[in-house]
Amino acid sequence: MLRRILCLLILLSIASCVAVDEKDNALLDWDIIPLNPPNPEQSQVGQLRYLGGLHIKSADERFGGLSALHWHQGRLYTVIDDGRWSSFEPIEEREMLTGIRNVEIGMLHGLQNEPLQGKANGDAESLTRKVNGEWLVGFERNHRVWRYSSLNSPAQTTGIDPVSLFGALAANNGVEALASTPTGLIACAERSNRTKPNCVQLIDDDVEKFSVTTPIALESINGKVTDADTLRSGELVLLFRGYTDEEGSGASIIVRTPDGLVNNVAVLRPPLNVDNMEGLAVHERDGRIFIYIVSDNNFSTRQRTLLMKFELIK
């Protein structure tokens, strides 16, 4: 999110959705960031070609909390872990990400069309759009997956019970990743696969459980799945992130084939720019695969909101 958002947060108590004037940028700005600050000429990591990134920032303490990411019709959609959603259009020059514009932000609503309030009910962590146009949003703490005809509409139940699918879930380790397929849905919980599968594929009433293992490079920082998306090929693209006080943040992107083969595409560790990466979106165009990732700053001055763009080189 986004150069022109925060001036409108005051209005959220009286409006469920607002469109942001492109010229109103007083409370939010960004810096363009290199992939590797000590070596700004670096343009590739693993199989990812870097196509620009932003450090989005604001003096307003209400800004942040971006979780999940999804590409749809030229816009990036995200949910915020206090019960809101946002979308915006990337500004790109010669394919390089240089900014954002045409921002919208709104409240997520409950089953009775009530605005979601409080961390327990509003902790939205995952987002995807189904083939039929409905949106699915996964929440943790009060673990559930709800569907929305539009992100401004009242929630509807899905019949998806994360606890039944995954077993007991810690309050802060729910369904972190949702990815639609042509015939169903993939969901992953934020936990390691050492004791139980951490992902499921749902097709009608069939449930297939499977595991994705943390890349070796993130094992020492407790890496876990935080988002996912699917390719037209049927492959699953997964984002992992991890953190420890001693080693800082790290992230990794893997591609998993339908028969379970895994390709560790890239690892982001310092000195590369990386933070608490929680959102991943895929955009396929003209036979090319573009990947956007975003970080959740948890409304903390100790973390950053980063939006980064890559091309997957196969």
d(CA 18, CA 259): 43
- Cα(295)–Cα(199) distance, integer angstroms: 22
Residues pairing with 178 in the sheet: 187
Query: Strand, helix or coil at 65?
Result: coil
Would you state the pLDDT for residue 230?
A: 98
Q: Helix, strand, or coil here: 195? A: coil
pLDDT along the chain (314 residues), means of 10: 38 37 54 98 98 87 84 96 92 96 91 93 96 97 97 97 94 94 95 86 94 95 97 97 96 96 97 97 97 93 94 94
pLDDT at 4: 39
26 token code pair: 């007083």
Report the alpha-carbon distance of residue 128 to residue 179 in Å, rounded: 6
Q: Is residue 62 a part of any domain in this protein?
A: yes
Residue 27, pLDDT score = 57
The confidence score (pLDDT) of residue 18 equals: 44
Residue 1 lies in a domain: no
Q: How many separate domains does the chain show? A: 1
SS3 (DSSP) at 246: coil
Cα–Cα–Cα angle for 261, 267, 270, rounded to 5 degrees: 165
Alpha carbon of 258 to those of 35, 180, 242: distances in Å?
A: 31, 14, 25
Tokens of 310: 């890559």
| CATH number of the domain that residue 41 is part of | 2.115.10
Task: Indicate the helix (H) or strand (E) that contains 298.
Answer: none
Q: Is residue 53 part of a domain?
A: yes
Is 67 inside a domain boundary?
yes
Sorted by sequence, the CB contacts under 8 Å of residue 4 that are 6+ apart come out as 20, 21, 22, 23, 24, 25, 28, 101, 103
Two structure tokens written together for 275 = 């933070």
Per the structure, the complete domain to which residue 193 belongs is given by 6-312
Other C-beta atoms closer than 10 Å to the C-beta of 172 total: 11
Question: Is this model's pTM higher than 0.85 or not?
Answer: yes
List the one residue out of 206, 189, 68, 207 whose CA is nearest residue 127. 68
Write out the H or E segment, with its range, that includes residue 99.
strand 96-107
Residue type, 105: I
Tokens for 314?
């196969």
Answer for the pair 208, 200: CB distance below 8 angstroms, yes or no: yes
CA 253 to chain centre: 13
User: CB of 177 within 8 A of CB of 219?
Assistant: no
Count of helix runs (H) and strand runs (E) in the chain:
2, 23
Residue 274 φ then ψ, to 5°: -160, 150
Is 113 part of any domain? yes
